[in-house]
Amino acid sequence: MSAKKNPIRKGIFFAVLAAVLYAINAPFSKIVLEHMPPILMAGFLYVGSALAMLMVGGMRMLHGRIGLEKSLEEKEWPYIVAMILLDVISPVCLMMGLKMTTAENASLLSNFEVVVTALLALLFFKEKISRRLWVGILFVTVSCCVLSFEDMDSLRFSNGSLLVVLSAFCWGLDNNCTKMISDKDPLQIVLLKGLFSGTIALGVGFYMGETIESVWMVVAALVVGLISYGMSVYVDIYAQRYLGAARTSAYYAISPFIATGLSLLIFQQIPPKVYWIGLVLMAVGAWLCSRDTPLININPNRSMEKKEKN
């Protein structure tokens, strides 16, 4: 059965594509952060995502595909506002965390997003979580705990790691908000998030006295944001239409491993033993999560529309 006829296969394709696009975030942001303060960096990342959506909009116009997606409605604005606020907090925490920890460590820790997304999807959005997915979540959680310790002998947590985990928590909540409006135009969603989150973060950064050292670093941040915050989230929303928030995040779990490989190639630093322990635990958890068999997930808004038609 082709991907066009199989919605699950289509959802998996979009989820994996989103993960690959997001993988460049940690290693390349780490490079740019050497020349740009974290709050401004977060702002330019989201401005870059807005630029990506302007490009997608232009392509739609050229191919006559305007009006094929459903527009956002007034009732969805609470979710949009929540996502904008979370999208200010999340990247700021991640950028500050990257300043204090390695790119490969931050990449793996970002998988805590899978845990938060699944738990919130279960508790508040009534998604079904299989036993296999629960076991995978357990491995991911244990791995995050191992990776968060700065000194295993004194059991002292790393501040940088905790900031990365906090950013993952916020993105987990953001994923569930996104799921509630995933049947609406992804371009509108990502454009609004990019414009407002980026503007707020830039405003806060300049107010806090942060400055730009190089125009080229601004361009670099915009490009990273265009790919990893713009196009990645755009296709991630399509994945959530078919898989739901929890299972989309499960497939998204491959992203940190791609990012880790890039980080090791770029920075050429051998991580400590504790990192490799965390890597093995995370790999097992990600594999279990990705092997979960999803049910066809219909957005609750679409379900209501079908009932009304009948």
pTM of the entire predicted model: 0.75
In sequence order, which residues have a C-beta less than 8 Å from that of residue 236 and are 6 or more positions away?
14, 15, 18, 178, 248, 252
Average pLDDT over residues 141-162: 66
Spatial contact of 167 and 41, defined as CB atoms under 8 Å apart? no
Domain boundary assignment for the chain? 7-309
* Structure-block tokens of residue 31: 């490079």
- Polymer length of the chain: 310
Tell me the per-residue pLDDT of 226-285, one tens digit each, with 9 for 90 and over. 999 999 989 988 888 888 777 777 777 677 778 777 887 887 777 777 778 877 887 887
pLDDT tens per residue, range 78-133: 999 999 999 889 989 988 988 887 777 777 777 778 778 878 877 776 667 677 77
Return the pLDDT at 308. 41
Q: Are 197 and 87 in contact (CB under 8 A)?
A: yes
